[in-house]
Amino acid sequence: MFAPAYSISRTPLVAVYGTLKRGLRNHHWLEGADFVGSDRLTSATLYDLGPFPGAKPEPSRGVEVEIYRIDANLLTELDRLEDFRPRQPHAGLYHRAIHATTFGPAWLYLYNPEVAGRTAIRQGGWWP
């Protein structure tokens, strides 16, 4: 669920699970961010959408994420990349919500469209 009460100053972490991960095509967006560590989230399930994955807030056996410490400017850039629209969070491709991680609460981008017929990844990670 989108938690607007959390600001970047209270939640300076983002959990990434797709093309933003190290070694993948969009990782360059995280230049300047501090890699905090890896974790497994049981609060989300990934769906293979072909060129990228989408997460839904559904229980899993643990999907792999990388956690980064970011600032407000980088969060704004990531919002643009993920087509997150703060005034209409469910109108874009993704919305974001706070999820608990080993390193503290982190933003997680959640996929808005339906995923019927897509392969669920309930454990492990997504790789192209």
The one catalytic residue among 58, 77, 82, 114: 82
Which residues have C-beta within 8 Å of that of residue 116, sequence separation ≥ 6? none
Q: Where would I find the beta strands (DSSP E) of 17-103? A: 34-41, 45-48, 53-56, 62-69, 94-101
| Nearest-angstrom CA–CA distance, 6 and 16 | 18
31 is catalytic: no
Tell me the catalytic residues: 82
